[in-house]
Amino acid sequence: MKEIARICGVSRGTVDRVVNNRGKVKPETEKRILETICQLGYTKSILGRALSVKRCAPVIGIIMCSEGNPFFDDVLAGFDHAEAELRQYDATVMRRTMLGHDVSRQLALIDELAPQISALVIQPINDPQVEGRISALRDRGVPTVTVNTDLAHSTRCCYVGSDYESGGATAAALLELLTQGHGCVGVIGGVPTLMGHVARLEGFCKRLAQCEGLHIVAVANSMDDPLRAYGETRAMLALHPEIDAMFVVAAGCNEVCRAIIDAGREHTVRVVAYDDVPTTREMMRRGIIKAVVCQQPFEQGYRALRAAFNMILSGEMVSDERIIMENQIKIRENIL
């Protein structure tokens, strides 16, 4: 109703009187309002539902494994922007963040929010217990939107994020171009219980298998722990001096690059990684990271929260909706 009022240059009260046949409105004003409603595809039921939602003051829960990872700063900013828009409906957001990927911690946060929320947005850990909590919420009429990483076989309603397998394949194709199709590759993986990290590595391996001159000689997981990423990289380079390219699957890219520098390999190891964050920009300017694949973190946060609210607004829970971000490639010449 606010949007219709803005377009028509009238008050929300005037729109309400036209929609609900309350009070007199000039015929030309009424005609303009009705035409606008028709053009925008609104119906009286949707408008009525919006008023009903406002009276209920919905609460949306957010749970993110975001602490210590600068990538998620933009995801959280997307949440902030959407939250500001939803204040007109008296909607509130209860946000919880966690460090690392402890299943028991995520379960405790879900249990804390569950009695209070109308919808949940979550970056889920791949665990049957988390799937069970999502199923229990759906049974109570509470929709779940997964963001950034998915639980495709759960009863979540919508996933907002990247096509990780495609992102992994994109990274492999970039590495093929950078190495002219020849080299020994070291891989620093992420967290095996995050499906996004698993799918990204699978996509990378499948695409790299098409290039006979590129071979993966070592793989280690950082668990999104910066210290572990540094240690695994130093150990890998010491054990495999033939490595001349590295693929960083998830967080810890800055520490991987620091390990390369400390090993005296700054000019001989080419790195492909993910996300346009301050630390990757620094390493791109130094020439260590040659390219990053970006996944529109602000849009992920914004669209995930809006998707959750739209299900509250419609009163319907969709099934298996996917809102996929476009993979974007950045190199030193086009970073901010």
CATH no. for residue 77?
A: 3.40.50.2300
335 in any annotated domain: no
Residue 260 near residue 237, CB atoms below 8 Å:
yes
**Residue 245 has what pLDDT?**
98
218/284 same-domain check? yes
| Residue 282 predicted with pLDDT over 80 | yes
157/212 same-domain check? no
pLDDT digits (tens, 9 = 90+) for 194-231: 999 999 999 999 999 999 999 999 999 999 999 999 99
Label the pairing between strands 144-147 and 92-97.
Answer: unpaired
**Residue 239 has what pLDDT?**
98
Containing structural domain, residue 22: 2-42
Q: For residue 52, which amino acid is it?
A: S
Q: With bands split at pLDDT 50, 70 and 90, how would you rate the model's confidence at 55? A: low
301/278 same-domain check? no
**Residue 315 has what pLDDT?**
82
Q: With bands split at pLDDT 50, 70 and 90, how would you rate the model's confidence at 26? A: confident
333 in any annotated domain: no
232 in any annotated domain: yes
User: What b/e readout covers 252-269, taking b as 16+ CB neighbours within 10 angstroms?
Assistant: bbbbbbbbbeebebeeeb
Q: Which residue do the tokens 């959750």 mark?
A: 308
13/72 same-domain check? no
83/157 same-domain check? yes
**Residue 328 has what pLDDT?**
94
Tell whether pTM > 0.85.
Answer: no
199/289 same-domain check? yes
| Residue 44 predicted with pLDDT over 80 | no
CA separation, residue 172 to residues 21, 112, 247 (Å) = 61, 41, 8
Task: Say how far apart CA 115 and CA 104 lie, in whole Å.
Answer: 18
Q: With bands split at pLDDT 50, 70 and 90, how would you rate the model's confidence at 272? A: very high
Task: Say how far apart CA 236 and CA 242 lie, in whole Å.
Answer: 10
47 in any annotated domain: no
Which of 9-13, 49-53, 93-97 tops mean pLDDT? 93-97
| Residue 22 predicted with pLDDT over 80 | no
| Residue 32 predicted with pLDDT over 90 | no
Least confident of 17-26, 214-223, 274-283: 17-26
**Residue 325 has what pLDDT?**
94
**Residue 48 has what pLDDT?**
62
The tokens of 289 are what?
């990271």
The tokens of 22 are what?
């309350």
Residue 173, CB-side half-sphere exposure with 13 Å CA sphere: 10
The tokens of 108 are what?
């405790």
**Residue 28 has what pLDDT?**
85
How many domains, in total, are found in the chain? Answer: 3
**Residue 298 has what pLDDT?**
96
**Residue 49 has what pLDDT?**
61
CA separation, residue 121 to residues 72, 83, 118 (Å) = 14, 13, 10
